[in-house]
Amino acid sequence: MTFIQKNGFKVFMHVFGSLIFLSLPVVFSPDFDESLNLIFISPFQRNFFTYLLLLGFFYINYYLLIPRFFTGRRYLIYFLLISIIFICVVLLPQIIFGFPRPHFGPHDMPPSGPPPHHHKAFDFFRFISFGPPVIQFIIILIFSIMLRLYDQLRHTEKEKAVAELSYLKAQINPHFLFNTLNSIYALSIEKSDATPSAVVKLSGIMRYIINEASQDMVSLEKEITYIRDYIELQKIRFGDTIRLVFSVDGRTEGLVISPLILITFIENAFKYGINPEKNSSIEISIRVEGSWLTLKTFNYKAANIIADETQSKLGLKNTLKRLNSIYPGTHTLTIDETEGAYSCELKINLI
């Protein structure tokens, strides 16, 4: 959903909610049967105007008073302003449309016999709609505070998720970058034909992380290109010391994915699967079927102890949090670890 769509939906919900709220004094008015004459009846005018003031109070409290005074812990000023608004909401309708007073004219006497029976829910809403303004005011006050605090909590959680993503993006493995630069330096000394290609791929990786990965979603083709460049640089680093199988199958056009959501599993395959003392084997496959993406990795576990194992586990933990946040209920992760091998299978529904 785009920014314009999100804001359009929000405006629609505010307008719709306001209309529903303003319809309450109409629907539950004792004089509802009067049809268009209802707007000329003083008690209805007074009550409808009260609802207009309550609606205005809701938005003033939600957008101005709560963020500026309540959440700013300036409680004395906040409750002073609330008290002033409450007096206005209660007195203004009475001053403009007159104070309610009983009338006992011959045509206004209540009908004889038992009062008409109404459903309890109907009586409750009528009481809320035409009850004392203090009850209506307290309900609006509590609702606006709870709604604002809930929105602030959601905003905080979103900022936290963005911060975690930024942290993950900032976790460019310094060992990978350092070793890649060393490999490129060695290739340049040897005047290898692979030097320009290595520089271009490293440049593409850095450009992707700095520019593209700042978005919420990127095209799947760009994410796979980033992964491909990463794997090609690893090939340059380790040369013929590893047996590396990488494949991509399926149609990726039109699909988007959260950036850097796959790379952690691929990085771990290299971190845990490279043994400098003997040839290593790593298999990585990406398959797209419809809207489902499947990533599979397999590697034999290296006998040597990896120095940045803690960092690897932290990166995996952050990725799992992102998966649960961005793809809740639409992804599965299966990890199979034995004494000598490690494999994982990640499935994500990209729609």
- Are 192 and 258 found together in one domain? yes
Mean pLDDT, to the nearest integer, of 9-23? 89
Confidence band for 174, pLDDT divided at 50, 70 and 90: low
- Are 201 and 325 found together in one domain? yes
Expressed as residue numbers, the domain containing 194 is: 171-349
Q: Write out the E strands in the chain.
A: 218-219, 242-249, 256-257, 280-289, 292-300, 331-337, 341-349
- Are 27 and 86 found together in one domain? yes
Contact criterion met (CB below 8 Å) for 180 and 198:
yes
Provide the whole-model pTM. 0.57
Contact criterion met (CB below 8 Å) for 136 and 53:
no
Percent of the chain with pLDDT over 70: 78
Mean pLDDT, to the nearest integer, of 256-263? 90
**Distance in angstroms (rounded) separating the CA atoms of residues 311 and 314:** 5
- Are 232 and 314 found together in one domain? yes
Helix axis angle for 133-170 and 75-97, nearest 10°, is 140
CATH number of the domain to which 210 belongs: 3.30.565.10
Mean pLDDT, to the nearest integer, of 241-254? 91
Mean pLDDT, to the nearest integer, of 282-287? 96
- Listed range (126-135, 272-281, 334-343) with the worst mean pLDDT: 126-135
Predicted confidence (pLDDT) per residue in 265-278, tens digit = 998 888 888 876 66
Is the residue at 62 inside a domain? yes
Confidence band for 98, pLDDT divided at 50, 70 and 90: confident
Domain edge (last residue) among 149, 164, 179: 164
CA distances from residue 58 to 136, 141, 321, 351 in whole angstroms, order as listed: 11, 7, 36, 37
- Are 138 and 277 found together in one domain? no
Say how many domains are in the chain: 2
Residue listed under structure tokens 């606006």:
144
Q: What residue type is 24 in one-letter code?
A: L
Mean pLDDT, to the nearest integer, of 242-251? 92
Confidence band for 169, pLDDT divided at 50, 70 and 90: low
Q: Report the residue count for the chain.
A: 351
Instruction: Label residues 73-89 b or e (16+ Cβ within 10 Å = b).
Output: eeeeebeebbeebbeeb
pLDDT of residue 236: 83
Is the residue at 16 inside a domain? yes
- Are 41 and 153 found together in one domain? yes
What secondary structure letter does DSSP report for 63? Answer: I
- Listed range (41-45, 56-60, 138-142, 225-229) with the worst mean pLDDT: 41-45
Is the residue at 113 inside a domain? no
pLDDT of residue 326: 87
Q: Is the pLDDT at 104 greater than 50, yes or no?
A: no
